Amino acid sequence: MTNTPTGSGLFEPARLGPLQLPNRLVMAPLTRNRAAADGVPQPIMATYYAQRASAGLIIAEATTPNAVGHTYPHIPAIHDQAHVAGWRRVTDAVRAAGGRMFLQLQHGGRVGHPDNSGLTPVAPSPVPLPETIHTPSGRRASVVPREMTAADIRSTVADFAAAARRAVDAGFEGVEVHAANGHLLHQFLAKNTNHRTDAYGGTIAGRIRFAVEVVQAVADAIGPDRVGFRVSPGNTVNGIEEGDTDALHPAFVEALVDTAPAYVHIVFADPEQPLFRHIRRIWPGTLIANPALGRGGPLPEDGGRQAGERLLAAGADLIALGRAFLANPDLVERLRVGAPLNPVRDEYAMYTGGETGYTDYPTLTAASGRAGTPEPAGR
């Protein structure tokens, strides 16, 4: 990678609700499977996030708001006081390193298994995940989820609101409601996973209702300027087929304009796509764009900088990068000075416990010959 000029909009400060961000680079939520079996964040997670505190904003990894929403082994949670205490260690470390954090709230819906949660997964309809799922004993066949009743829907909305309050108690500046990537809220949005005939199914207005109610309840609980929500239009991960993407997502986004959350976060954003431009036109608040960088293929040599700059030019306010932050604790500085990036060394290590592939990526300082553990960024 050749040196590049520093005069990029990525390094300009920005506001997000009450927060002043030192730059427009956001660390996207990245599942890393380093929590304890009961979902309590472990001390190594504090080290990991503090190393990356120079990001304008860190959105911490997908965290379940209740037990039945648990997806895979060693996923963090935020539904009891032990979870709050564990996350408080993380946010204290990040704040001491000069950073700011939101927490992503994710309910897996049918993306779950009794071996992981002890419970039968729930979903809008009894349509199983069309693939196997990770469990402590290896990959297992998915189970048919239980269709959520009206009481289940009400209690789940309340669980999201309670989780948001706990996140604030744990020191997070806010939360991101995950309505993307084939998890519960996305399952309600999509035609192939939502076969309901009540007020939460059928038409677009019915299918977006649950997700809208969740975001509104979370905004009521902690204030809309502390809340964002994430969408992935057209994403087929976890067996999702939306059916009417170009109409569905503008309707969902527009339904939340009056609630005024702090941001909408678009996954695999493409500035050339009419849908991205449509959402930008109708959304008056902050738009975080996560560029499509090969969807699992090799990272570009610049880590996504050029793609991010194109999205800024197309109207995005903040740019979320995932794997580039995973492998580069000091990504902001590397992009600023045009330094080479660490590659992601081992995809398997992304989802296994311990330091390897997690907290052992070197900073520029360490790579230049100073021994020792990578220094926390942002000090």
For residue 122, tell me if it sits in a domain: yes
For residue 146, tell me if it sits in a domain: yes
Range of the domain at 342: 9-367
- Using alpha carbons, select from 207, 152, 166 the residue that is nearest to residue 77: 166
C-alpha gyration radius of the chain: 20
Q: How far apart are the C-alpha atoms of 288 and 315, rounded to whole Å?
A: 10
pLDDT, position 350:
78
pLDDT, position 298:
81
List average pLDDT for each run of 10 residues in the chain, which is 379 residues long.
58 96 98 96 98 98 98 97 98 98 98 97 98 94 98 98 98 98 98 98 98 98 98 97 97 98 97 97 98 79 95 98 96 96 82 89 76 38
Q: How far apart are the C-alpha atoms of 260 and 238, rounded to whole Å?
A: 29
Q: How many domains does the chain have?
A: 1
44 touches 359 (CB < 8 A) = yes
For residue 194, tell me if it sits in a domain: yes
pLDDT, position 365:
86
24 touches 317 (CB < 8 A) = yes
pLDDT, position 368:
60
330, 332, 333, 338 alpha-carbon torsion, rounded to 10°: 120
CA angle, 184 then 60 then 232, to 5°: 40
pTM higher than 0.75, yes or no?
yes
79 touches 120 (CB < 8 A) = no
pLDDT, position 258:
98
For residue 376, tell me if it sits in a domain: no
For residue 359, tell me if it sits in a domain: yes
For residue 4, tell me if it sits in a domain: no
pLDDT, position 348:
65
Check which CATH number belongs to the domain holding 61 and give it: 3.20.20.70
